[in-house]
Structure 1
Amino acid sequence: MASDRLPEVLDAAYECLTRYGVRRTTMDDIASAMGVSRSAVYQYVRGKDDAFRRLAERLHAEALARARQAAAAEGATAAERVRGVLAVKLALVRRLSQDSPHAAELLDEKARGFGDVCLGFTGGVNGLLTELFAEAGTAAGTEPAEAARICIALVVGLESISDAERLFDPAVDALLTGLLGAPARPAA
């Protein structure tokens, strides 16, 4: 299967997703959004399920790459690196949710066609956080993997509320102060 126009196919699939959702989008819709025939789209994907799976893979891979960059930020404290990883996770969800209620379908860990992609992303974020907590150390009684799961739970909770961006910093500060056993940011 050719791949030179695959990014265009995925962009068109995303455009259709935001309008119609996964179930209501057809290959004709994707082709129309690209300005090509349906048979031309089949040169790049096997069908709409394949298009949406590849779209989910692309979005999650891009976000995981940003999370890795945040985790590896030179000169940043452990708290700043954890905050950066969590901000990437929240930003992915908020971006898709704000683009369209349908776009959030790409985040469904129970979705038949790409739930494993979502789970893989969350697992990747969990791994980065676990490594960061293992490196930085955690407050007595909290294992690094447990600290990572707690942080992810915080972000999952924030993902569903309208003022998540406003609450993100104070929530992460409070959580990291407890998990790291020291203030997450120096006092102003």
Structure 2
Amino acid sequence: MGTDRLDEVLDATYDCLTRYGVRRTTMDDIAGTMGVSRSAVYQYVRNKDDAFRRLAARLHEQALERARQAATDPGTPSRGRIRGVLAAKLDLVLELAGDSPHTSELLDADARLFGGICSAFTTELRRLLTDLFTETGTAAEVEPAQAADICIALVMGLEHRPDAQALLPLASDALVAGLLGTPPGPGL
């Protein structure tokens, strides 16, 4: 299967999603957006649901790759690496929410099509954060996994704010300082 052609199918699926939403998009819409026949699209995806699942998986995987890079950046202090992981999640949400009211459907953890993808994404973010807090250490009363959960809750709280990107550095620095038991500042 040609990866480039699959990417074209997923790009067309995203374009249709922004215009029509998941329910109203048809395979004919995807094919028409690509300028090919519907049977050509079926060479790369089984059906519309498969196209949307693959699209959601691609977007979440791209965000996870950014989170992994942030988590393992040796030149960045721990506080910055934690913020980078959180920014990967927030950026995914804000990007999708900004493109169309329909695109946020790809983030619905309760949706039949995307629930597993969304849950796996959050689980991997939690693991990355837990590893970072284990490496850095946390305040005595906070376990690394609890610190990770608190950070994810912070991002989820910021997702619907118009000034989310501006607030993330301030909020994450203050939160992480408390979780690490250190004063806020350029260290760590």
TM-score between the two structures when normalised by the length of structure 1: 0.96
Aligned length: 187
**Is residue 79–residue 184 contact of structure 1 (8 Å, CA) maintained in 2?**
no
What's the counterpart of residue 160 of structure 2?
160
Superposition deviation, residue 180 in structure 1: 0.9
Aligned 8 A contact 1:71 1:132 in 2: yes
Q: Which amino acid aligns with 1:160?
A: H
Match of 2:85 in 1: 85
1:163 is displaced (CA, Å) by 1.3
After TM superposition, which residue ranges in structure 1, 4 or more long, deviate above 4 angstroms? 1-4
Structure 1 equivalent of residue 112 of structure 2: 112
Mark the runs of 5 or more structure 2 residues left unpaired by the alignment: none
Aligned-partner Cα distance in 1 for 2:167–2:75: 25
Partner in structure 1 of residue 103 of structure 2? 103
When the two chains are superposed, the root-mean-square deviation of aligned CA atoms in Å is 1.3
TM-score of the superposed pair, with normalisation by structure 2? 0.96
CA contact (8 A) 1:129 1:148 kept: yes
CA contact (8 A) 1:78 1:136 kept: yes
CA distance in 2, matches of 1:175, 1:77: 15
Name the structure 1 match of 2:171.
Answer: 171
Per-residue CA distance 1:90-112 (angstroms, 9 max, x = gap)? 00000000011111110100110
Aligned residue number for residue 146 of structure 2: 146
Is the 1:133–1:148 contact (alpha carbons within 8 Å) kept by the matching residues of 2? yes
Q: Percent identity?
A: 66
Distance of 2:122 and 2:152 partners within structure 1:
8
- How far, CA to CA, are the matches of 1:177 and 1:151 in structure 2? 12
Amino acid at match of 1:35: G
CA distance in 2, matches of 1:113, 1:75: 38
Structure 1 residue 167: Cα displacement: 1.4
- Distance in 1 between the 2:2 and 2:104 partners? 28
Q: What code does the residue aligned with 2:78 have?
A: A
Structure 1, gaps ≥5 residues long: none
